[in-house]
Chains A and B, each alone.
Chain A
Amino acid sequence: MRLSAMSPIVRLITQRITLGILLLFLVSILIFAGTQILPGDVSQAILGQSATPEALANLRAELGLNDPAYIRYFRWLGGVLTGDLGIALTSRQEITATLLPRLWNTLFLAFCAATVAVPLAIILGLLAVRYRNGVIDKLISGFALTSTSLPEFFIGYLLVYFFAVKLQWLPGISTVYVGMPFLERMEAIALPATVLTLVVLAHMMRMTRAAILNVMQSAYIETAELKGLRQIEIIRRHAFPNAIAPVINVVMLNLAFLIVGVVVVEVIFVYPGMGQYLVDHVSKRDVPVVQAVGLIFAAVYIGLNIIADVAAIIANPRLRHPK
Chain B
Amino acid sequence: MPKAVMKRPHDESCSLLEIRKLRIEATSYSPGGAPQNTVIVDDVSLKLEKGRVLGLIGESGAGKSTIGLASMGYGRGGVRITGGEVLLNGRNILAGGVQGLRKVRGNKVCYVAQSAAAAFNPALRLMEQVIESALLHRVATRAEAERRAMALFKKLGLPNPETIGRRYPHQVSGGQLQRVMTAMALCSEPDLIVFDEPTTALDVTTQIDVLAAIKDAIRDTGVAALYITHDLAVVAQVSDEIMVLRHGKMVEHGETRQIIEAPRMDYTKALVSIRSIEHEEKKPTTKPLLSVRNIIAGYGGGAVKVLQDVSVDVRPGQTLAVVGESGSGKSTLARVITGLLPPLSGSITFAGRTLTPRLADRSRDDLRELQMIYQMADVAMNPRQTVGTIIGRPLEFYFGMRGCERNARVAELLEEIEMGKGFVDRYPAELSGGQKQRVCIARALAAKPKLIICDEVTSALDPLVADGILKLLLRLQKIEEVAYLFITHDLATVKAIADSIAVMYRGKVVRYGPKTEVLTPPFDAYTDLLLSSAPEIELGWLENAIKGRRMESAGN
A323 touches B118 (CB 8 A): no
Would you give the 0/1 interface string for A214-231, flagging 1 where the beta carbon is closer than 8 Å to chain B? Answer: 000011101111111110
Which stretch, B119-127, B366-374, B409-417, touches the partner chain A? B119-127
**B residues less than 8 Å from A238 (CB atoms):** 121, 124
Bound-state CA distance A223–B133 (Å) is 10
Q: A222-B76, A223-B119 are in contact. Are A228 and B170 (CB under 8 A)?
A: no
Q: Give me 6 other A-B pairs in contact (C-beta within 8 A), A228-B104, A241-B123 excluded.
A: A226-B105, A227-B105, A228-B102, A242-B122, A317-B122, A317-B123
Bound-state CA distance A318–B119 (Å) is 16
Name A242's contact: one of B105, B121, B137 (CB within 8 Å): B121
**B residues less than 8 Å from A166 (CB atoms):** none
The answer to whether the Cβ of B339 comes within 8 Å of any Cβ in the partner chain is no
**B residues less than 8 Å from A225 (CB atoms):** 74, 105
Instruction: List 28 A–B pairs whose Cβ atoms lie within 8 Å, in order of A's numbering.
Output: A218-B118, A219-B119, A220-B118, A222-B76, A222-B113, A224-B132, A225-B74, A227-B110, A227-B132, A227-B133, A228-B105, A228-B106, A228-B107, A228-B133, A228-B136, A228-B137, A229-B136, A230-B102, A238-B121, A241-B124, A242-B121, A242-B122, A242-B123, A317-B123, A317-B168, A321-B167, A321-B168, A321-B170
**A residues less than 8 Å from B121 (CB atoms):** 220, 223-224, 238, 241-242
Q: Shortest Cβ distance from A322 into chain B, in angstroms?
A: 8
The answer to whether the Cβ of B256 comes within 8 Å of any Cβ in the partner chain is no
**B residues less than 8 Å from A318 (CB atoms):** 122, 168, 170
Name B's A-contacting residues (CB within 8 A). Answer: 69, 72, 74, 76, 101-107, 110-111, 113, 115, 118-124, 129, 132-133, 136-137, 167-168, 170-171
Bound-state CA distance A317–B122 (Å) is 7
Closest to A243 in B: B123
- 3 smallest A-B Cβ distances: which pairs? A227-B106, A228-B105, A219-B118
Name A's B-contacting residues (CB within 8 A). Answer: 218-220, 222-230, 237-238, 241-242, 317-318, 321, 323
Name A228's contact: one of B69, B103, B118 (CB within 8 Å): B103
Closest to A231 in B: B98
Q: Shortest Cβ distance from B197 into chain A, in angstroms?
A: 13
A227 touches B136 (CB 8 A): yes
**A residues less than 8 Å from B136 (CB atoms):** 227-229
A317 touches B118 (CB 8 A): no
Closest to B105 in A: A228
Bound-state CA distance A230–B113 (Å) is 20
Bound-state CA distance A222–B497 (Å) is 39
Q: Shortest Cβ distance from B164 into chain A, in angstroms?
A: 13
Bound-state CA distance A294–B170 (Å) is 44
Bound-state CA distance A321–B126 (Å) is 13
**A residues less than 8 Å from B167 (CB atoms):** 321
**A residues less than 8 Å from B120 (CB atoms):** 220, 223
**B residues less than 8 Å from A223 (CB atoms):** 111, 113, 119-121, 129
Bound-state CA distance A228–B124 (Å) is 18
Bound-state CA distance A318–B120 (Å) is 13
A323 touches B170 (CB 8 A): yes
Name A226's contact: one of B74, B137, B168, B170 (CB within 8 Å): B74
Q: A227-B105, A228-B106 are in contact. Are A222 and B124 (CB under 8 A)?
A: no
**A residues less than 8 Å from B129 (CB atoms):** 223
**A residues less than 8 Å from B72 (CB atoms):** 226
Bound-state CA distance A223–B106 (Å) is 9
Q: Shortest Cβ distance from B140 into chain A, in angstroms?
A: 14
B170 touches A317 (CB 8 A): yes
Closest to B109 in A: A226
Bound-state CA distance A202–B113 (Å) is 37
Closest to A238 in B: B121
Bound-state CA distance A230–B106 (Å) is 12
Bound-state CA distance A223–B69 (Å) is 11
Q: Shortest Cβ distance from A35 into chain B, in angstroms?
A: 46
Q: Shortest Cβ distance from A221 into chain B, in angstroms?
A: 8
B113 touches A219 (CB 8 A): yes
Name B106's contact: one of A226, A237, A241 (CB within 8 Å): A226
Among A225, A226, A242, A323, max chain B CB count under 10 A is at: A226
Q: Shortest Cβ distance from A250 into chain B, in angstroms?
A: 19
Bound-state CA distance A228–B113 (Å) is 15
Among B76, B120, B121, max chain A CB count under 10 A is at: B121
Q: Shortest Cβ distance from B224 into chain A, in angstroms?
A: 17
**A residues less than 8 Å from B115 (CB atoms):** 219
Among A218, A224, A227, A242, max chain B CB count under 10 A is at: A227
Closest to A315 in B: B123
**A residues less than 8 Å from B69 (CB atoms):** 226
Closest to A224 in B: B121
Bound-state CA distance A299–B45 (Å) is 68
Bound-state CA distance A258–B133 (Å) is 43
Bound-state CA distance A323–B171 (Å) is 5
Closest to A223 in B: B119
Closest to B137 in A: A228
Closest to A242 in B: B123
**B residues less than 8 Å from A228 (CB atoms):** 101-107, 133, 136-137
**B residues less than 8 Å from A227 (CB atoms):** 105-106, 110, 132-133, 136
Bound-state CA distance A288–B124 (Å) is 51
**B residues less than 8 Å from A220 (CB atoms):** 118-122
Among B74, B111, B119, max chain A CB count under 10 A is at: B119
**A residues less than 8 Å from B76 (CB atoms):** 222
Q: Shortest Cβ distance from B186 into chain A, in angstroms?
A: 13
Q: Shortest Cβ distance from B390 into chain A, in angstroms?
A: 29
**B residues less than 8 Å from A230 (CB atoms):** 102
Q: Shortest Cβ distance from B170 into chain A, in angstroms?
A: 5
**B residues less than 8 Å from A242 (CB atoms):** 121-123
**A residues less than 8 Å from B122 (CB atoms):** 220, 242, 317-318
**A residues less than 8 Å from B132 (CB atoms):** 224, 227, 229
Q: Shortest Cβ distance from B266 into chain A, in angstroms?
A: 35
**A residues less than 8 Å from B104 (CB atoms):** 228
Q: Shortest Cβ distance from A80 into chain B, in angstroms?
A: 41
**B residues less than 8 Å from A237 (CB atoms):** 124
Closest to A230 in B: B102
Q: Shortest Cβ distance from B193 into chain A, in angstroms?
A: 11
Q: A317-B123, A321-B168 are in contact. Are A226 and B118 (CB under 8 A)?
A: no
**A residues less than 8 Å from B170 (CB atoms):** 317-318, 321, 323
Q: Shortest Cβ distance from B96 into chain A, in angstroms?
A: 12
Q: Shortest Cβ distance from A241 into chain B, in angstroms?
A: 4
Bound-state CA distance A124–B358 (Å) is 54
**A residues less than 8 Å from B171 (CB atoms):** 321, 323
Bound-state CA distance A323–B176 (Å) is 14
Bound-state CA distance A225–B101 (Å) is 10
